[in-house]
Structure 1
Amino acid sequence: MTIREVLINIRERLQNAGIEDFEYESWAFLDWKLHINRAEFYMNPNGEVKEELLAELESVLKQREQRVPLQYLMGECEFMGYDFYVDERVLIPRQDTECLVELAVEDIRNIKTQNRCESNNTADRKNEQKVKVLDLCTGSGCIGISVAKLCPDTEVTLADISEGALSVAKKNAQNLDAGVTLIKGNLFENIEGRFDYILSNPPYIPSEVIEGLMPEVKEHEPRLALDGEADGLSFYREIINEAPDYLNPDGRIYFEIGAEQGEDLTHLMNERGFSEVKVHKDLAGLDRIVTGIYSRK
């Protein structure tokens, strides 16, 4: 079978399986399993593909036709320019979540720069405290690990209730050489001390909505990381209520939210005493991140 025939076969099978991004994924399969990128394809589209490679391709292609996500099959997903290991114990990192990391990293860098400018001497700068960051419901660790990599002067803690998720996060921390602390517990359970930033992408999909999601999500991604209970706000309420006890003065909280949850989150945070509560949009122009500051009285 030629490379062209293989590509056409992949494309047709993915399209017939109802996979929306079949065009992109057909090239991804070609690159992943046959080690042929687009440039190489166009240089030799009629080259013959070895039988053993076709057998390997067939095995994973059948799984993809059953709507197993491509990222789980490949065992990786790019996030913030880093390759994260993923499997069915964790959510697949989304581009939307990069918005949260970008906002947090920009703020951390700005505050560190401001503190350095205000330091009177070299001794003050040497004694400067590290920024402490808590990533709640960490999953793969993509949020906290990315912050640790992009802001080396931070002290990052990753927390999750799932032992499996923490195993994945630990693997990613090791693979990416990120110095982070991992804690198992339900939200703030087993968390000690205070933090300058709490970052979280908690479960926020209303329970009844999950069954209407695409098969890749509802059948393969962990429901524990998706289900925000009746109205999708259960975890936000609990985190917002307890967060002040774990934030330093003027500590900040960053949430990823569903596109229609901005107003509800703004109300919950204002009610708990957070100030400067803002809703930030993603690249599609949808509400995606809510941030706020807790000024201790």
Structure 2
Amino acid sequence: MSGEETGTALLQAAIKTLAKAGVPDPARDARKLFAYASEVEAWRLTLTLPEPVLPETKTRFSTLIARRAAREPVSHLIGTRDFYGRSFAVTPDVLDPRPETETLIELALRRPFRRVLDLGTGSGCILVTLLTERVGALGVGGDASAKALAVARRNATRHGVDQRATFVQSDWMGAIQQRFDLIVSNPPYIAAAEMAGLSPEVRQWEPRMALTDEDDGLSAYRVIIQQSVPALMPGGALLLEIGPTQGTDVTAMARAAGLQDVVVMPDLDGRDRVVMGQIAVAMA
């Protein structure tokens, strides 16, 4: 291809390449990657696409398209993913923030809290979002992965809450001794038998330990609920993101552990997404 090729021609060829590789919504991804390679805001693409493309931009874009055709996630290619209206740094060491997790954010923000714990914090998107939205609150993010915690710290600094966030390397609450008004978690809930059915973007590129418990998908909930109940202040709440078929099992665990007013809340698609329960105000 000549150096005089326009962005439009390169974009059309890239869309065909991604479609042939089975990439969902290839046009969206190709446009996003072209904007990134061109260092142009996405909304300006319509203006710039008819223009000839610089050789270095063409090379950069071609490399990105080849990697995307191998099903590497767009977030890994550009280094960020949007969540709750903000951009978060992501790497292969953390799960991509996902829109359905915003359901947990919305529910958490309906509650009063000054001290929040995010177990399995990963990128820190949940904790950082809650602290950004609730000025004055303090938070702790726990994760067993030191590499994930490094990403979470970057995101706390990126969004100006690093002075209110503490990050602890911990196997769930093993190294966390404080008490909290609110505990949240999006733990690994995919059963080992379900891993083969995931998209290549998830199965091949995201950290396996953040996806599955290598068991029935429920073992993390058993530990988190057991450890969280004594760590909640009177009136405090536990919010857990779940898979869409896990509501009954996780609800039963929460009630058996002594949580009250346990409910399952759906996401915007109507699928069970969050189990929520609280400690009675009178409990010590």
Tell me the TM-score range normalised by the shorter chain.
over 0.9
TM-score, with length taken from structure 2: 0.93
- 1:211-226 alignment, distance < 5 Å: 211-226=196-211
Question: What residue number does 1:125 align with?
Answer: none
Change (3 A) 1:151 1:41: closer
Task: Write the distance in 1 (CA, Å) between the matches of 2:31 and 2:212.
Answer: 33
Q: 1:99 aligns with which of 96, 103, 116?
A: 103
Instruction: Give the match for residue 254 of structure 1.
Output: 239
Q: Alignment partner for residue 168 of structure 1, among 145, 151, 157?
A: 151
Which residue number corresponds to residue 33 of structure 2?
Answer: 29
Which moved further from structure 2: 138-147 or 53-62? 53-62
- Partner Cα separation in structure 1 for residue 69 and residue 23 of structure 2: 8
1:208 Cα deviation after fit? 1.3
Q: Which residue of 2 aligns with 1:181?
A: 166
1:64 to 55, 61, 68: 68
Which deviations, in whole Å up to 9, do the C-alpha atoms of 1:256-285 show, x marking residues without a partner?
A: 000111111111111111111111111111
Contact 2:32 2:42 in 1 (8 A): no
2:35–2:45 contact (8 Å) kept in structure 1: no
Rounded Cα–Cα distance in structure 2 between residues aligned with 1:228 and 1:289: 18
User: CA shift at 1:294, angstroms?
Assistant: 1.7
Unaligned runs of 5+ residues in structure 1 are 112-130
From the superposition, tell whether residues 268 and 150 of structure 1 become closer, same or farther in structure 2 (CA, over 3 Å).
same
Matching residue of 2:91: 87
Deviation at 1:145, TM superposition (A): 0.6
Q: Equivalents in 2 of 1:45, 1:194: separation in Å?
A: 54
Change in CA separation of 1:89 and 1:41 when aligned onto 2, cut-off 3 Å: closer
Q: Which residue of the other structure, out of 260, 268, 284, is the alignment partner of 2:269?
A: 284
Q: Secondary structure at the match of 2:174?
A: coil
Counting only pairs closer than 5 Å after superposition, residues 60-209 of structure 1 correspond to structure 2 as: 60-108=64-112, 131-178=114-161, 179-209=164-194
Partner amino acid, structure 2, of 1:216: E
**Alpha-carbon displacement from aligned partner over 1:163-215 (angstroms, at most 9, x marks no partner):** 11001001111111112011111000110121010000000000111122111
**Which one-letter code corresponds to 1:154 in the other structure?**
A
Using the TM superposition, name which of 25-34 and 7-16 deviates more: 25-34
Contact 2:115 2:137 in 1 (8 A): yes
CA contact (8 A) 2:263 2:277 kept: yes
The Cα shift of 1:151 comes to 0.1
Supply the AA of the counterpart residue of 1:235. Answer: A
Q: CA RMSD in A?
A: 1.4
Pick from 15, 19, 22 the counterpart of residue 15 of structure 1. Answer: 19
Judge conservation of contact 1:27–1:37 (CA < 8 Å) in 2: no
The one-letter amino acid of 2:205's match is H
Structure 1 runs (4+) greater than 6 angstroms displaced: none
Residues 119 and 184, structure 2, Cα contact 8 Å, conserved in 1: yes
| Alignment gaps of 5+ in structure 2 | none
Aligned identity (percent) is: 35
Conserved 8 A contact 1:30-1:37: no
TM-score (ref. length: structure 1): 0.89
Residue aligned with 1:78, SS: strand
Partner of 2:227: 242
| CA distance 1:41–1:242, shift in 2 (3 Å) | closer
Q: Distance in 2 between matches of 1:47 and 1:137?
A: 46
Shift of 1:14: 0.9
Find the aligned partners of 1:183 and 1:8 in 2 and give their Cα distance. Answer: 46
Asked if structure 1 preserves the Cα contact closer than 8 Å seen for 2:7 and 2:52, the reply is: yes
SS at match of 1:139: coil
How has the CA–CA distance of structure 1 residues 166 and 273 changed in structure 2, closer, same or farther, with 3 Å as cutoff?
same
